[in-house]
Structure 1
């Protein structure tokens, strides 16, 4: 094995925007507590359906917060699992042609063998540019080492 192969990140590995989760998970819990509390403490003149709708509104707001906290990228020996806001996609290493994180990009994009690109929202500069660059390089190195496409992946 080459020297580059010995420096690969240890698998399994997971990348996620931790600051987002640190804010969104407690905020989602607080939203539920506040809206349910408001529904319970409203004056008696409020009807039951108003209280139910207020509770449901809190659940919807909390659900949006949980959805925004969801993105991550998990890498293991078989491939990568990209968990974005709504969808999850499992990729084999051979499907990844290139890992991109260009200046100004909101997150990493993966160029795939089928000619499409996939956003990997779990790796984003919003939580720290240098951290995102290290994560993108680590993912690139893993894709190059485990992939069979023979094409080099790049991070700019």
Structure 2
């Protein structure tokens, strides 16, 4: 089984999540000590930390994409959902020029983006494409 995830996007997403959480927790802690004359309560501090947590989770959502492939098929998990495709349903695995990520070419001119294989990852994306194409070729040879 081959599994690929985006590398640079994950690092950036984790860094942004940590930044959001740290900033909002610091603001929550310092919120009560403000001398502007406005009264802040513990509930305001908790809400501020909660906003940081929600924003951090939103940033981590960009680390979600994954592709899993084996001899039977390929499972693509993008931002909104996960779907498995049999290799017999996949016409090609391509990476069009100028595209930010790879895609599965399906019948009737349809395609599914593979957000886990991103152009920004360079050699990692090349390796992922080679592995996906190899698995697809092996499945085609084994098919009756």
TM-score, length basis structure 2:
0.80
Cα distance, 1:23 vs. partner? 2.7
Match for residue 145 of structure 1? Answer: 138
Cα distance, 1:137 vs. partner? 2.9
Match for residue 62 of structure 1? Answer: 56
SS in 2 for 1:85: coil
User: How many residue pairs were aligned?
Assistant: 137
1:132 aligns with 2:134: no
SS in 2 for 1:123: strand
CA contact (8 A) 1:72 1:83 kept: yes
Query: Which structure has the larger Rg over C-alpha atoms?
Result: 2
Counterpart CA distance in 2 for 1:61 and 1:111 is 34
CA contact (8 A) 2:28 2:45 kept: yes
Runs of at least 5 residues in structure 2 that lack an aligned partner in the other structure: 34-38
Match for residue 105 of structure 2? Answer: 111
Cα distance, 1:49 vs. partner? 4.3
Match for residue 28 of structure 1? Answer: 17
Cα distance, 1:145 vs. partner? 1.8
Superposed CA offset, 1:29-52 (max 9, x none): 342233123213312522344324
Match for residue 4 of structure 2? Answer: 15
CA contact (8 A) 1:31 1:62 kept: yes
Superposed CA offset, 1:76-118 (max 9, x none): 2332111111211122222211111011011011112465211
SS in 2 for 1:39: helix
Counterpart CA distance in 1 for 2:93 and 2:117 is 11
TM-score, length basis structure 1:
0.74
